[in-house]
Amino acid sequence: MKKIITISREFGSGGRTIGKQVAEQMGYQFYDKELIEKIAQEAGLSREFVEKSGEHSPGKNMFSYAFVGRGINGVSVEDYLWRKQREIILELAEQGNCVIVGRCADYILRDRTDSLHVFIHADLDKRIERVVKLYGETDQNPQKRLADKDKTRRLNYKYYTDRIWGMSQNYDITLNSGKIGLERCGEMIVELAKVL
């Protein structure tokens, strides 16, 4: 039985929904991006900053770096946020029985043998369909929106982990939710977590 399940996901693939289902079926705590950011906030970062920069690497946007300044003790605020989130994820894992979505948790907890690392992806058309349905239309074309989100996650992951985001070797199981369906993805993860 795996005590910690990390779920990384492409934007619009339904990874968060799958994670929630898994947490419910396992009776585990559910920590998504927002919750971890909230905790980091309590650690002393403003809500606005955390919301804006939580998924950015300093390498991504030179202006943001210059803008927020050198932050705490000469460390960029992005790096400070990364450290805080890392500490929080390590603590949550120590408590066990949880599902953690996003935040490079697969990397942060890579050496824990009591964890199962999952990546969820789907074809672009399926993700566009989902994003438009969930969040509605915006001025920005949905294809561009998805590409931007994925790029940010990829750069952030690369910056802090030096690994390629979405490489199967980083995960125990990866699933195409567009082809398999969200509910079945959740069931497969639950079954696997229970027997391993």
Closer CB to its own copies, residue 121 or residue 145?
A: 121
Q: How far is the CB of 144 from its own copies (least distance, A)?
A: 18
Is residue 97 within 8 Å of 27, Cβ to Cβ?
yes
Closer CB to its own copies, residue 20 or residue 163?
A: 163
Closer CB to its own copies, residue 66 or residue 195?
A: 195
Closer CB to its own copies, residue 62 or residue 195?
A: 195
Is residue 188 within 8 Å of 120, Cβ to Cβ?
no
By CB under 8 A, name the binding residues for its own copies: 10, 119, 121, 164, 166-169, 171-176, 179-180, 184, 188, 192, 195-196
Query: If DSSP codes are grouped into helix, strand and coil, which group holds residue 54?
Result: coil
Helix axes 77-95, 33-42, angle to 10 degrees: 110
Instruction: For 100, list phi and psi in degrees, rounded to 5.
Output: -115, 125
Q: How far is the CB of 52 from its own copies (least distance, A)?
A: 28
Is residue 29 within 8 Å of 97, Cβ to Cβ?
yes
Q: How far is the CB of 152 from its own copies (least distance, A)?
A: 17
Residue whose pair of structure tokens reads 């996003």 in the numeric block:
102
Closer CB to its own copies, residue 71 or residue 181?
A: 181
Helix axes 142-161, 124-135, angle to 10 degrees: 110
Q: How far is the CB of 195 from its own copies (least distance, A)?
A: 7
CA distance 59 to 32: 24
Q: How far is the CB of 162 from its own copies (least distance, A)?
A: 16
